[in-house]
Amino acid sequence: MLDATIKQIEKSEKFLIIFHESPDGDAIGSSLALQAALTSLGKTADLACKDAIPAVFSFLLPSNTLIADDFIISDYDALILIDCGDSKRTGFADRVKGYAKHGWPIINIDHHNKNDLHRIAQTNYVDSEAAATAELMYLLLERMSIKIDKRIATWLLAGLYTDTGGFQHANTSQLVYRIASKLLSAGGKLRQISDNITLNRPLASLKLWGLVLSRAWRSKDGVIVSLVTMKDIAENDASADDLAGVVNILNTIPDSKATILFVELPDGKIKASLRTEHDQVDVSALAAVFGGGGHRKASGFTIDGKIAMSKDLRWSIKLT
């Protein structure tokens, strides 16, 4: 997988790097690191994402970073998909599939389970046992003899930090620690990462977190559930991005088997984030039932519907 990816990169000159919608630190950091690596080789690499970068991860972006939400896909020699999970998650599913039908090269770099992108892409550098795509990206850049400078080290470290919950989740392997150590030695700014992702929280975010925690309840099966409505977000002058990380806090409740956080979105949809640290629970299986995906320990899905809440705070989900 690794050698085939390098060969395809060597054969192409102009790349479009697409990372998944509602981007997180792993997708953003891995994509920025790859763009810098390709540029250092004298190649052209543009970035694209359907959604804007959440404010919590804006510190990762150099001031001159351009991330397109539209493009002419035929302008590129090769397409690289980063941390996408499946074609829908790219945010540009129809264009990606159209690119594939022409037989043009697609490289899929990911740590999610096998999905439709494995059939679409000519080259798959995928390992579902990896903690983060940043882990795979580090190994790729290392094999390509790319110099890991302070910027790349920080981007990849942010990816590892995000997808391991600050190196606390069960997916934090010995390899993750070894790579993190090398990234720190190369100048990766862990303090900057932890300050921005974990410690510095605006008041609006903390208010939303308070609502999430106050509404949490445990089902008879040991599943922790909570929710946030569009009204909650508006009344606190916040955004859905301000909820980043709170589902991991819910997941620390002792003796719980899994956690589900429902968030009402402005487009008539509800996003569900699922987490578990239980060895016998695979939340990706539940997410798949609703057309979502992810990993055994962290997954999600989106459904059409609204959250209805009564004055006595009883709530239900109305599917549309």
Here the tokens at position 280 are: 């016998």
154 and 249 both lie in a single domain: no
User: What domain count does the chain have?
Assistant: 2
Residue at a domain's end among 164, 197, 230: 197
Return d(Cα 105, Cα 121) in angstroms, integer.
7
Residue at a domain's end among 197, 232, 255: 197
167 and 108 both lie in a single domain: yes
Mean pLDDT (the chain, rounded) = 92
Return d(Cα 20, Cα 10) in angstroms, integer.
24
Residue 65's pLDDT is 93
Residue 154's pLDDT is 98
Please, which residues bridge with residue 315 across strands?
Answer: 309
136 and 254 both lie in a single domain: no
Residue 66's pLDDT is 95
127 and 207 both lie in a single domain: no
Residue 54 structural domain: 2-197
Residue 77 has pLDDT above 90, yes or no: yes
Residue 239's pLDDT is 87
What pTM, to 2 d.p., does this model score? 0.88
Between residues 219 and 310, the one the model is more confident about: 219
pLDDT interval class at 312 (50, 70, 90):
low
Give tens-digit pLDDT for 245-263. 899 899 989 889 999 999 9
Q: What is the CATH number of the domain that holds 263?
A: 3.10.310.30
- The SS3 of residue 77 is coil
- For the chain, what is the radius of gyration of the CA atoms? 19
178 and 52 both lie in a single domain: yes
- The SS3 of residue 122 is coil
Quickly count: other Cβ atoms within 10 Å of residue 191's Cβ: 9
121 and 228 both lie in a single domain: no
Residue 288's pLDDT is 87
Please, which residues bridge with residue 58 across strands?
Answer: none
180 and 251 both lie in a single domain: no
pLDDT interval class at 296 (50, 70, 90):
confident
- Residue 285 one-letter amino acid: A
Q: What is the CATH number of the domain that holds 26?
A: 3.90.1640.10
Residue at a domain's end among 155, 170, 197: 197
- How far is CA 186 from each of CA 154, 157, 183, rounded to the nearest angstrom? 9, 11, 5
Work out the average pLDDT over 254-276: 92
Closest CA to 300 of 263, 267, 266, 268: 263
117 and 21 both lie in a single domain: yes
Work out the average pLDDT over 280-297: 87
- Are 212 and 206 in contact by the 8 Å Cβ rule? The answer is no
- Are 13 and 77 in contact by the 8 Å Cβ rule? The answer is yes
